[in-house]
Amino acid sequence: MKPLIIANWKMNPSTIKEAKELFNKVKKTGAIICAPFTYLSELKSDNLCAQNCYWEASGPYTGEISLDMLKDLGVAYVIIGHSERRVHFKETDEMINKKLKATLATDLRPILCIGEKKGEDAKEVIKKQLEQDLNGISKKDLDRIIIAYEPVWAIGTGDFCEASKAKESLESIKEKLNNKVLYGGSVNSKISKDYIDVGFDGLLVGGASLKVDEFIKINQNV
Ligand code: PGA
């Protein structure tokens, strides 16, 4: 099966013009594009992904975006629990669990990010995050979740986790779940295939997804 490639643009690029240009150059890859909220309505694709959501349907939650709002724009996926949200915005496993449940009540597909910080034991962190984030989710709903294993120390640092090492975490996830599992963390075109070769179902690409040629190569190489 073709690996699933996801581009996480994070808070980039700075203008709608640049976002459209980037999108038009990379859309032929068929990758899922996680664009900032304000660009989602401008990009026409069945493979659009939001980078976050809120679990309530509407109400006094200044600054938040509901799943219905995303659905109304034709968004098909949403990233939940990215480490940048866990670290900078103090998202807890309890909040992530609520976001997952709210997403699974719609037809959007959640991409749940998990992974250890530097010095932490990957296996223990994966176990704890999966237990807490997936708490109370039915087996049927569980199957719709895409898991992204992203060691926090590898994100945006250039210090990727070697595929042979990442495979150990993949195995500890697959011991518990039958879901699609992606690798993320400083992916580039030279190493992209290594993760697919060790059994990952795809990649979550941050920095390199903003570089057109490099992103196209990542897609071609897998
Ligand atoms: P990176 O980001 O590829 O820049 O390390 C990955 C991510 O944050 O999803």
Q: From the alpha carbon of 83, which atom of ligand 1 is closest? A: 8
Two structure tokens written together for 8: 């996480």
Q: Which of 82, 84, 91, 214 is catalytic?
A: 82
Q: From the alpha carbon of 187, which atom of ligand 1 is closest? A: 3
Q: From the alpha carbon of 204, which atom of ligand 1 is closest? A: 9
Peptide bond into 13 cis (omega under 30): yes
> Active site includes 150?
yes
pTM for this model (two decimals): 0.98
Two structure tokens written together for 189: 């075109």
Length of the chain: 222
pLDDT tens, N- to C-terminus, the chain (222 residues): 899 999 999 999 999 999 999 999 999 999 999 999 999 999 999 999 999 999 999 999 999 999 999 999 999 999 999 999 999 999 999 999 999 999 999 999 999 999 999 999 999 999 999 999 999 999 999 999 999 999 999 999 999 999 999 999 999 999 999 999 999 999 999 999 999 999 999 999 999 999 999 999 999 999
Residue nearest to atom 1 of ligand 1 (CA): 206
Protein residues with CB under 6 Å of any ligand 1 atom: 8, 150, 155-156, 184-187, 204-208
